[in-house]
A and B are shown apart, each in its own frame.
Chain A
Amino acid sequence: SQQGEEDPQALSIQEGENATMNCSYKTSINNLQWYRQNSGRGLVHLILIRSNEREKHSGRLRVTLDTSKKSSSLLITASRAADTASYFCATPLQGGSEKLVFGKGTKLTVNP
């Protein structure tokens, strides 16, 4: 299976702390994306990093990509209670398809 695997499955932190989530995948990719899902809602695209990039920032989000290890990490700095959600990594299905393969997600809880 090409499916990405997020680690940890669940993470609980205090407001103001940083949260780090990891994603590993199995095949060569040209990009990797991170999505957020609030409880009972649809997924929202957060950030995309291309295979020729090592790091990317967007506001309080920092994403890294290590293609040699087939892994990515998502760092949320100075977390807020509103960051409580599940976070998923997604990679294109091998072969240039428009389809994405999603991991099972990390459930982040930020306690006020």
Chain B
Amino acid sequence: DVKVTQSSRYLVKRTGEKVFLECVQDMDHENMFWYRQDPGLGLRLIYFSYDVKMKEKGDIPEGYSVSREKKERFSLILESASTNQTSMYLCASSFSGPLMTDTQYFGPGTRLTVL
């Protein structure tokens, strides 16, 4: 079974702090994703990575950056946390290949509260 883990289930930070959210997958997937989920807005893609050190902005990258130094690990960084970044953050991974189906495998989520 594919396993995607996220470093924290719940996180509380102060405005202005630098926040790191870590995601690790154990299936050697090429693609990794960071989403945020807010009531009434659904899942919105923040960043996408299709290979080590490769990244692509999603729909709402402002205020976020990412790092992918190793294939299995994809980090989301909030350079200076703000209250409007309070949200549920979901990491996902998927296989890339000729038979790819785009199926994504999700971690359990990190509920971040910025005070």
Q: Is the CB of B109 within 8 A of A40?
A: yes
Q: Do A42 and B103 touch (CB < 8 A)?
A: no
- Contact with A45, one of B33, B41, B104 (Cβ below 8 angstroms): B104
A71 to B98, CA, bound (A): 26
In the bound assembly, the distance between CA atoms of A57 and B58 in angstroms comes to: 33
Q: Size band of the B side of the interface? A: 20 to 34
Interface size of A as a range: 20 to 34
- At the interface with chain A, which of B12-20, B43-51, B60-68, B71-79? B43-51
- Considering only CB atoms, which chain A residue lies closest to B56 in the complex? A99
B33: chain A residues at CB < 8 Å are: 99
> Per DSSP, are chain B's interface residues mostly helix, strand or loop, or mixed?
strand
A-B CB contacts (within 8 Å), total count: 55
Shortest CB distance B54–A (Å)? 12
Given contacts A48-B101, A98-B50, A98-B100, contact A41 B41 (CB under 8 A): no
What residues of A have a CB within 8 angstroms of the CB of B31 in the complex? 98
A100 to B88, CA, bound (A): 18
Task: Give the contact stretch, choosing among A10-18, A61-69, A73-81, A102-110.
Answer: A102-110
Expressed in whole angstroms, the minimum distance between the Cβ of A48 and any Cβ of chain B is 6
Evaluate whether A45 and B111 lie within 8 angstroms (CB atoms) in the complex, with A99-B45, A102-B43, A105-B42 already known.
no
Tell me, rounded to whole Å, the shortest Cβ–Cβ distance linking A103 to chain B: 7
- Decide if A111 is an interface residue (CB 8 Å cutoff): no
Chain B residues near A102 (CB, 8 Å)?
42-43
Q: Which residues of A contact B109 (CB under 8 A)?
A: 40-42
How many whole Å from A98's CB to the nearest CB in chain B? 5
Interchain CB contact under 8 A, A104 and B41: yes
Is B40 a contact of A92 with CB atoms below 8 Å? no
Which of chain B's residues has its CB closest to A1's CB? B59
